[in-house]
Chain A
């Protein structure tokens, strides 16, 4: 078969190595080995508040801080706790799995809410005038209301603002340039 084209075995092997290296190299260069799953953050580490611009954003960060504080107290991740608080069934599963009863959960959530108030005050999002009574209130709040507060912080903070807003106006009159909005974006 002298008329047929032949290819050397060495050329074929070198070609195979080159093609394989080229493909793997190109994929690695394009980020093929860079995937890292989203890391779950330590809830006990302080989480910085990012200059909230609206009541919704304050409520958002308030919720995160509260979850962080409660999760830190319980020794679970913020993500696990958030899923547990979404429905009564999820809460039951969580309590069974981690051996946490309602009392322990309530205590942790209250601690989380206190941390949220502290963080909000420190970030200038909550007036000291309201932070003090609010801190006292959340330390005595029943479990169901505490969970509701985490779930719907915006309504709660909105209610606080509308209820105590006139007081802020009075202070503003007495102390021009004073405390500003009680819940101040």
Chain B
């Protein structure tokens, strides 16, 4: 009796969404992991880097394996490995364990995603439709990722971000098991690989650069909001959801422009423009992050779809070339994080040093009682020192407030001035990194210009 393809399509889409959303879900949990596992900003970055690096390296071999061993079996095994490693991530109590588990999780994820792209054409009826389902699932996952990650981290724990992936991966694996069983019973496995050319170098190179810029946008913005402006994970999640939301809402714009190269170029420019906007925020207020995020969101919707179409267009098998695009995107994320992390870590450290001195200078130059001001100077610098890079709420250093109304007003004014100084300093600490990320987006224009014109 023929089975309805719907559950299988849904399962494959769920698997792709789950794996490709991983980075955006986990990024909101990083500040909490950073604190709880008592590591450094550079150390916690490896939770993200390790996953993306392994996917970048494993995507193409995984696609080849999926074609040789059978995509159903590969997808099922990949999801099982992803789930098992997700469980290990959730139970990890030190950074090294977490990073090793993340590498294993990435191996499973690479296998599941590339196998899904191999299974989809037969399930939905055409390669083009398969590519659309695959890309939409990835985009939806990335759109829901930040909000989901933020809510889970704040309402439950950072561990729940990984633990929730376990049942979702297993649910996605169930409908795929029947394909795996069929492959086992018939023992008919397609071993032929149609040779239709090498991977599209320029499109994949541009994908890597743009992905580096986009990953930096999300990662840096989350750090700025949580570590710099002291937002909770839920608040930060809501703020950064503007980016994927703008991407989803503007996805129809891509249909209006047939020239994929023009869409890619416009997208890269918008991503860079948005990042430059984040680099020059005039004030430390959430509202001012919205317009740059909208530009980045529209830009990523245009550029990622256009470059993926260009990379896959007229090439088969889709799984192998899809593997190259996954590899490029994740390699870009790794490059972005590895290049920018030491830069903004150094900038944050410098900012902390400046903030301690600026805070003390503001207090010393204030008109509050000298006895109180020296005590305040020490308490504020202690708070700044303890937080190791995070800009703290300095309120507790100002407690208890003086009973005298005049002195109290002076202290409150001083507290406001000082917090403003620290917030602006924290915002400024991210500027260089945002500018460099914007440059990465602009450099992507060169491979885009060199890519073959594909009108779709």
Residues of A that sit less than 8 Å from B by CB: 4-10, 12-13, 15-17, 19-21, 23-24, 27-28, 30-35, 37-41, 56-57, 59-60, 62-64, 67, 77-80, 82-83, 85-87, 90, 150-155
Contacts and interface: CB of A to CB of B under 8 A. Distances in A.
A23 B427 CA distance: 17
Contact of A90 (B262, B273, B274, B378): B378
Nearest to B379: A86
B272 interface: yes
Contacts of A24: 273, 276-277, 280
Interface residues of B, number: 56
26 contacts: A4-B256, A9-B266, A12-B263, A12-B302, A19-B295, A20-B273, A23-B292, A24-B276, A24-B277, A27-B288, A30-B282, A30-B283, A32-B282, A37-B354, A37-B358, A59-B369, A60-B369, A60-B373, A64-B364, A64-B365, A80-B357, A83-B356, A83-B381, A85-B374, A87-B378, A150-B374
Contacts of A13: 262, 265-266, 269
List the 3 shortest-distance A-B pairs measured between CB atoms, nearest first. Answer: A20-B273, A9-B262, A86-B378
B378 A83 contact: yes
Interface in B64-82: none
A35 B422 CA distance: 11
Contacts of B257: 6-9, 12
Contacts of A8: 257, 259, 262
A85 B360 CA distance: 13
Nearest to A152: B371
Contact of A15 (B266, B355, B361): B266
Contacts of A31: 282-283
A37 B425 contact: yes
The CB with the most chain B CB atoms within 10 A, among A4, A38, A79, A153, is that of A38
Nearest to A78: B364
Contacts of A30: 282-283
Nearest to B406: A56
A57 B357 contact: no
Interface string B365-378: 10101110111011
The prevalent SS among residues of A at the interface is helix
A57 B367 contact: yes
Contacts of A90: 378
Given A24-B276, A38-B362, A82 B377 contact: yes
A67 B364 contact: yes
Given A24-B280, A62-B370, 16 more contacts: A8-B259, A12-B262, A13-B262, A13-B266, A17-B273, A20-B277, A24-B273, A27-B282, A35-B427, A37-B357, A78-B361, A79-B356, A79-B364, A83-B377, A83-B381, A86-B378
Given A6-B258, A15-B266, A151-B371, A86 B377 contact: yes
B256 A7 contact: yes
B365 to A, nearest CB: 8
B300 interface: no
A9 B259 contact: yes
Nearest to B370: A63
B299 interface: yes
Contacts of B256: 4-7
Contacts of B259: 8-9
A91 to B, nearest CB: 10
A62 B371 CA distance: 12
Contacts of B276: 20, 23-24
B369 A56 contact: yes
Nearest to A34: B282
B291 interface: yes
Contacts of A6: 256-258
Given A6-B257, A16-B266, A38 B357 contact: yes
Nearest to A31: B282
A10 B381 contact: no
B424 interface: yes
B357 A16 contact: no
A129 to B, nearest CB: 24
Contacts of A155: 371
A13 B270 CA distance: 9
Contacts of B277: 20, 23-24, 27
Contacts of B357: 37-38, 40, 77, 79-80
B299 A16 contact: yes
B91 interface: no
A35 B425 CA distance: 8
A37 B427 CA distance: 11
Contacts of B200: none
A54 to B, nearest CB: 10
Given A35-B427, A77-B357, A16 B269 contact: yes
Contacts of A28: 280
Interface string B241-259: 0000000000001011111
Contacts of A38: 354, 357-358, 361-362, 421
B372 to A, nearest CB: 10
B425 A23 contact: no
Given A31-B282, A60-B367, A79-B364, A16 B270 contact: yes
B428 interface: yes
Contacts of B269: 13, 16-17, 20
Contacts of B279: 32
B252 to A, nearest CB: 11
Nearest to B291: A23
A108 B23 CA distance: 55
Nearest to A38: B358
Contacts of B321: none
B270 A19 contact: yes
